[in-house]
Structure 1
């Protein structure tokens, strides 16, 4: 099969248009069309349905696009490894983690990494969906549970727990609950029990919801929960790592907390020798060590 024709097919399938693919490939629309027809003839099948709004892949086209997409990801991985230098750190590093952790813990610390390696380009992908590292949807992941995929190098970074927090202003106005039953007169702010979240956090929310709490605010990520708490809307279920970055928060019902949530760093085996992965791993390890010390100091001061 002609590699050049496959490259052109992939661009057309990705763009859904001969014109847009031509712009990307710096080829005329007619040249792109000729290559697609030639590929279809060599395979003895139709790859696209043509209509006024663009092109739609046929079933056979979808099969070929799955193959070229996989090839493209593998080629990107190979190119990344080739570009990695023993002396310099540059190029793109795609990092995926949960919205809350990425927004509230990781992003504020990245200035230290950029200070050391200003030519590094980080693509931070914050979402609850677990991206496929072996298929190169991302280079490195920080996840709130141990990854189950094969061919991954994984490192346990720390454990976190979900706890209850409120602002001093909120508690001054509404009072500080001393028992679980006292929560009935407060507004609980948490992730929806059905939302994608760490299992330990969901269990704590379910336990709290067994009590007669008259007012609730559900948000689909911890960043939103934190913003609501900081604006004095109620008592929020939040990860304990926020104590460091939000010193105005007060812990409520200090004996109540979730089970431990493990935090793992993971990356594909094939990137074991990547310089970019190495410096990111070392950076995260150092920041976790500093974070643990700050957490111990903070708990010791109370």
Structure 2
């Protein structure tokens, strides 16, 4: 029995509905059903009676519910005692360094909420270029680094926070661009703008396109010397170009018709967000608390965050046990298994074999919610 399953169970019981519980917890209705079914299998007895217009607890379900109330009451008291220790700590300030995306679109609100909860603690935010953040961490100028994209550095511990989707956007009224060609990943017309290739977004994009046999290094219409998101978005409209950007950074431009999103049915790209700390370095308790606070903050409606650390091959009894090196998902990290060709689920052609909608992983994390494999190593 897992804590997250018990939380889903209690919400479903309180609301007498799987779909309402899913909306509140940012899960799909099939995902809620899957977790409830798994909990019922663990206990060995049905916990809910299913009705046309909702659900109600069985006699055994009521017993489990009563204990779940006690569990969450104890959890609340535990959190209160931890918060009291944090508030009385001698450390009253943490300094975090962040890339422009996280430092502009996510962290400011989290810092305000965190300081509201802990009024005696100050969080100093330093926003810098991608390559500068880890350097500042290693030089101990900051306590925590918030970064995105693929990271390979043996000197830091990475804490997975969440995901965002990379979307293809272009100037809304540019007659040169071919919408069909763009959606089919044909980039011969128009100009592709990117941030510098050392940036996490660019690394994620290059890896993703490489998986679809698109090598941007051979394209003459790619410009990759821009240093920030703001200038990139201005340039898209100014010169009639297109780009791949995290959804959080362009949601307003898409909503107000400044930029147009081009759907990519053949490809889905996700960028991971990380908190990085130095290995063998003491992190103040308020620092670890802030990392947890960020990853659990419900303000981030667009983030596709991972709700479980159980590997997909354990949940599904996959024939490639423990994510062997021959598994394409294991090789192509940061991609949802159902978007990668050559997996047991998708087959060599990448076509849907029909297994996804019976898969517990997909039911809980589906609808473009990715499963990151690196955390299972």
Normalised by the shorter chain, which TM-score bucket? 0.5 to 0.7
Shift of 1:211: 5.1
Shift of 1:260: 4.4
* 1:277 and 2:287 matched: yes
* 1:148 and 2:174 matched: no
Runs of 5+ unmatched residues, structure 2 = 1-83, 306-364, 370-377
What are the superposed Cα offsets for residues 74-105 of structure 1, whole Å, 9 maximum, x if unpaired?
xxxxxxxxxx9632477332212222332233
**8 Å contact from structure 2 (residues 176, 190) kept in 1:** yes
TM-score for the superposition, normalised by structure 2: 0.44
Residue 96 to residue 166, structure 1, CA distance change in 2 (3 Å): same
Shift of 1:241: 3.7
Residue 88 to residue 120, structure 1, CA distance change in 2 (3 Å): farther
Partners of 2:199 and 2:368 in 1: CA distance: 30
Partners of 1:284 and 1:231 in 2: CA distance: 35
Alignment of 1:121-136 (within 5 A): 121-129=123-131, 130-131=134-135, 133=137, 135-136=139-140
* 1:237 and 2:244 matched: yes
What are the superposed Cα offsets for residues 8-28 of structure 1, whole Å, 9 maximum, x if unpaired?
xxxxxxxxxxxxxxxxxxxxx
Partners of 1:86 and 1:160 in 2: CA distance: 31
**8 Å contact from structure 1 (residues 113, 283) kept in 2:** yes
**8 Å contact from structure 2 (residues 111, 123) kept in 1:** no
What are the superposed Cα offsets for residues 244-274 of structure 1, whole Å, 9 maximum, x if unpaired?
55542432242365754432212245434x2
TM-score for the superposition, normalised by structure 1: 0.53
Alignment of 1:19-38 (within 5 A): none
Residue 216 to residue 135, structure 1, CA distance change in 2 (3 Å): closer
Runs of 5+ unmatched residues, structure 1 = 1-83
Partner of 2:233: 226
Partner of 1:264: 274
Partners of 1:259 and 1:294 in 2: CA distance: 12
Shift of 1:141: 1.2
Shift of 1:237: 2.1
Q: How many residues matched?
A: 211
- Picking from 279, 287, 291, the partner of 2:301 is 291
User: Relative contact order: is structure 1 or structure 2 higher (C-alpha 8 Å, sep ≥ 6)?
Assistant: 1
Partner of 1:99: 100
Partners of 2:219 and 2:154 in 1: CA distance: 38
Task: Point out the structure with max Rg over C-alpha.
Answer: 1
